[in-house]
Each structure stands twice: as structure tokens, then as C-alpha cells.
Amino acid sequence: MLQNIKDKILSGQRLAREDALRLFETDDIFTLGKLASHAAKKKNGNKAYFIRNIHINPTNICVNRCKFCAFSRSKGEDGAYELTIEEILNKLHPFTHSPVHSFTEVHITGGLHPDWIFEHYLEMIARVKQTFPKMCIKAFTATEIEYFSRISGKSISNILLELKKHGLDTMPGGGAEIFDIAVRNQLCPEKLSGEGWLAVIEAAHKAGIKTNATMLYGHIESYEQRVDHLMRLRELQDRAGGFQAFIPLAYHPENTEIGGSYSSGIDDLKTIAVSRLVLDNFTHIKAYWIMLGEKLSQLALLFGADDIDGTIIEEKITHSAGALSGNAMTAEQLKKLIKKAGKIPVERDSFYREIK
């Protein structure tokens, strides 16, 4: 049934929208997995990457109320928090000044705070960079960048250039959700539009800032809307070229306004595999172990993924929504997980340079 698509993949032809849809609709996940694994091997051989990183969410106070998000709070609400810059530095200290923990990346993202001014974020980045000059700073989603532009009156490109000047190295791929306007209006009507997200990312790539891309799946979207999302990312990558990795994010339903259920393991593997096959111009597909769990991440490495993210240390966004995984893994545990999946573990930095 998948013969035409198989021929296209084996001869290196690009998949069309209809092909991607047929792959999502197939029950033959074994063929799908084999094809995706073939595509992954062509890009990354038998390697699977991991990183020593730490996540920091400076605040959960957010002016938006996305209906899939269990992390955000209003100012003054129970559970609302905001970290000072000092507190952020204190969270990082134990992981940078010990010979055991030579962390190479900090991932910073949080709510759209109603009172913080853009200069606060500049100072945050600058202080982290001054204190930990060897750590790569991966910070702020396209949604946050657009918010900084609105609260400061500065253009998107000026915001990006100033952040870069103060120490921003790369950007995470969050906030993309699903680009389709009808789904977005239901899920997160106040959020930056799909076109807006793509425009900020294009500006980042033009400013020389590499980014990731994500897709939140398994809630109210259809396969067509997932395919549309992937196609728009592929088009942008053809044009701008600054994406490093694509990360499908499995929706977690606990404590969210839309509720619903967890995605199935089959859907998780399908989504990784179809992403690998459609996004032929992305070098890396990440199976984010926090969302997939350890065992499914191992399987994902046989279904087209070549990266499982990192040590993380403290994860709040997925855990607020009922993550079944732990919060942290050591580099040794990550290596073992990868080896047991039959892959070669490779520690990387934020730019996928190998760390020996």
C-alpha cells in the first residue's frame, strides 16, 4: 500500500502533502518505522545525541491562558511564582562548578509576565552569560520574542539583535503548537498566530540565531492540520535554513482546560516517523524523553529520531500537565538508554558539535 511512497523515499524524492497524510493514516507502523529509520541513518548514521542541559522557567505568571497549558498562572493566583535573577543564577551554580556536572546549555523560557520590562530579560541573559560564560544560552520562544516587541515598542529584529548582543545563543522551538488558524483559535486565541510565529523565527534565522521547531499534537487537531504544520516548517527551512531540530510534543491532558487524554504510543511513534520523512531538510528529530518517557524514547530512536534531549534537571511545563516521566537523568543514564536501543550515544553542544 505504501509502495509509491517507499519508492519516493528510497530514490530521495520529496514527499507531497498527500503522501504525508497517507503515512499518518496507515496502520503499517513497521514499514513506516523502517522508512523513517532509513531516512534518519542517511542523515546521522547510527548516532543518537544527548546534551547536559538544565531547564529554567523564570516565571509561570502569564497574560495568556492557553487551554492546553497547566503551567501558567495569573498574578496573585495560588501557585504563581517569579524568580529573581539571583535565584536563577543560584539554580545554575551547582551544575556548573562541579567537575561531575559540566553542563553546556541552559534552556530558559517562561510565562509572558505582565510587569517585567524587556530590559529585565536583557539583564537576565547578560548576568547568566557573565556568570557562566561557557554555557550556551537557549532562550525565549517566538511567542516571548513577539511579546517583548509589543511591550517595548521595538521591532522584532531589534529585540533579537539586542538579546544576541547580551548573550543569547540559540532559541527553543516552543510556542508553535499547531499553525492552523481554526485549531489555534480554539486552543490559544490570545497567542501569536501561526504566521506570526513563522515570521519571528525567520527573523531569528536572518539574525544568525539558530532555532528549533515544535508541534503540539494529540489534542483536537486532525492529521491534515499536522501535515499542514510540517509543510509550513519545511517551506520556511528551505527559505531561511536556521532550524536545527524538530520536536513533536505529545499533549498531556491533566489540569488543562481542554482535558482529553494522553496520546497513544503508536501515535507518538507515527508522529516521529512522519516528521522524519516529511522534514527532509531538518538534520535532527528529537524524541523529548520528558514527554515520551524513557522506554518510548528508545523506540523513537528506531522510528526516525536521533536525539533524546538532555539531563533537564527540573521540568515544570509537562509535569504540571501530568507527565509520567521523571524530572532529570544523568548523562550516564542517557548514554545507557541510547546504547540499549542499539545506537551510538554522542554528547553534543547546543549546535550539535560533538563533545569528546
Select the residue interacting with ligand V47 from 58, 111, 167, 172 (CB under 6 A). 172
Q: Which stretch binds ligand V47 (CB under 6 A): 57-65, 91-99, 210-218, 232-240?
A: 210-218
Q: Are 247 and 213 in contact (CB under 8 A)?
A: yes
Which 295-314 residues touch ligand V47, going by CB under 6 A? 309
225 belongs to the binding site for ligand V47 (CB under 6 A) = no
Binding-site size, ligand V47 (CB under 6 A)? 22
Select the residue interacting with ligand V47 from 19, 177, 221, 228 (CB under 6 A). 177
Q: Rounded to whole angstroms, how far apart are CA atoms 164 and 209?
A: 8
Torsion of CA 95, 96, 100, 101, to 10 degrees: 50
Which 278-297 residues touch ligand V47, going by CB under 6 A? 288
170 belongs to the binding site for ligand V47 (CB under 6 A) = no
Select the residue interacting with ligand V47 from 168, 249, 329, 337 (CB under 6 A). 249
- β-strand pairing of 105-108 with 53-56: parallel
Q: Which stretch binds ligand V47 (CB under 6 A): 81-89, 194-202, 222-230, 251-259?
A: 251-259
Q: Rounded to whole angstroms, how far apart are CA atoms 163 and 132?
A: 16
Q: Least Å distance between CB 10 and ligand V47?
A: 30
Select the residue interacting with ligand V47 from 201, 230, 274, 321 (CB under 6 A). 321
194 belongs to the binding site for ligand V47 (CB under 6 A) = no
CB nearer ligand V47, residue 39 or residue 247: 247
174 belongs to the binding site for ligand V47 (CB under 6 A) = yes
Select the residue interacting with ligand V47 from 57, 59, 237, 318 (CB under 6 A). 318
Q: Which stretch binds ligand V47 (CB under 6 A): 26-34, 35-43, 160-168, 248-256?
A: 248-256
Q: Least Å distance between CB 9 and ligand V47?
A: 26
